Amino acid sequence: MCFKEGLIFLLVLNFTSTIGDVIVAQSDSINNDDWIKEANIRIEKFRKGDADVKLIFNDKVLVNYSVNYEMVRHLFPFGCCINFQKRRDITDEEDKIYKKLFIENFNSAVPENHMKWVHISKDLNNPDYLAGDEIVEFCKSNNIFLRGHCLTWESHYPDWVKVLNGEELKDGIKKHIQQTVKHFSGYIREWDVDNEFVHCDYVQKKLGERIVVDMHRFAEESDSKIRLFVNEYEEWNPDFRKRLIEKVKWLVKSGAKVDGIGLQSHFSKTIPGGIRNMKEYIEEIYEALKLPIKLTEFDIENPLSEEKYAEDIESFYRMAFSMPQVEGIFMWGFWEKRHWRPSAAIYRKDFSERLAAKAYRKLIFNEWWTKGNAKTDKNGEFKFRGFYGDYKIILTLPDGRTVTKVFKLTPEEKQITIYF
């Protein structure tokens, strides 16, 4: 965030968080089970489906066969920012553990820094994509969805850009955006365009606010199939929400391609205003803009206690997962030694789990994880209701082989036929 704006934000947030604690104490403790029950009903409705799976072996249905089925991956993006930064205090072994834990905890990623302009372009004609390419290869190898972050950020530009003005500055922005989108277009299908474009306006002051429309156009011209997002913080603040909504409406009316809204969700101490406030501001933004929402940079700095942080993690994820307007949740770091706010990390320096990590994993890989066993009927079919995602089944075939097959359960794919 911009330094000036960020300073004001931190001051306001500290005050708001204190008020928020009171609100939580007064409201979330009253009828607490009600919002959880309502959220769970929505989760059942929007995040699960009825699977009907038919098994065929040598052109014949498999009748009365025992099948074990289990999820292997959620369809919903549960992600985190990823950072391979080499530091003296991080050993090669720690780097390996970091990568292993990332794969075990998240199905989606977003680069923390390695694709920002200030990191990849020391001069316009020699962009350095090496660190970004390393992240792409890691995600490819592990079937991890990767968002692009970010094409521009008006508070963080390379030094050589800061001396540019007029058409020279505009041309530099255009060249950078188009080079970057094209370079990563083989894997990255979604970008934050002008990060924090409401809070940060360095280029807008130089070229006029319509330059943001041009930024979206430059990206779209480079790859018309990518999704383009705005990405902002302070979404919990009603006054800022109004500014954000108005500016996104103006952006769309001005001809910019906008496919979604990123709400960063950086908090201090606890969720501002409590969990009901979170639901209300997500609904307000969606109703005003009719664009899908991703919670893109979630963390809570200096949580009130380990126990409270675990409770807030569970509340935040349960509410967000239950809302059909939300199509992904990304933490902004998970390990203390690679976290911009170490107190917000869910894993300590020695990789031991904080209570927040246990709460997160309990939701994602236990409560929201489907597995079971069944028998096929006379039509060679078995049915179950499960969370949308990738599944594996294990069964023994008539020829004695025990085999494993994978399939997807999605809102569009519920009738599944598997051939052996």
- DSSP code per residue over 45-102: HHSEEEEEEEEEETTEE--S-EEEEEEEEESS-EEEEE-----TTS-HHHHHHHHHHH
193 in any annotated domain: yes
| Residue 395 CB coordination number (10 Å) | 22
- Give, in degrees to the nearest 5, the angle at Cα 23 between 21 and 24: 65
Tokens representing 400? 């004695």
256 in any annotated domain: yes
**Residue 389 near residue 74 (C-beta atoms within 8 A):** yes
Which residues are CB-contacts of 314 (< 8 A; sequence separation ≥ 6)? 359, 360, 362, 363
Residues recognised as catalytic = 196, 297
| Residue 111 CB coordination number (10 Å) | 25
pLDDT of amino acid 142: 98
Q: Could you report the per-residue pLDDT of 115-138, keeping only the tens digit for each? A: 999 999 877 678 999 999 999 999
38 in any annotated domain: no
Number of domains the chain is built from: 1
21 in any annotated domain: no
Nearest-angstrom CA–CA distance, 287 and 294: 15
57 in any annotated domain: no
Nearest-angstrom CA–CA distance, 20 and 237: 12
Divide the 420 residues of the chain into consecutive groups of 10 and give the mean pLDDT of each group.
42 37 38 88 98 96 96 98 92 97 98 95 85 97 98 94 95 96 96 98 97 98 97 97 98 98 98 96 98 98 97 98 98 98 98 98 98 97 98 94 96 96
Read off the CATH number of the domain in which 94 is found: 3.20.20.80
pLDDT of amino acid 10: 39
| Residue 270 CB coordination number (10 Å) | 25
415 in any annotated domain: no
154 in any annotated domain: yes
pLDDT of amino acid 17: 36
88 in any annotated domain: yes
Q: Which domain holds residue 315?
A: 77-367
**Residue 192 near residue 230 (C-beta atoms within 8 A):** yes
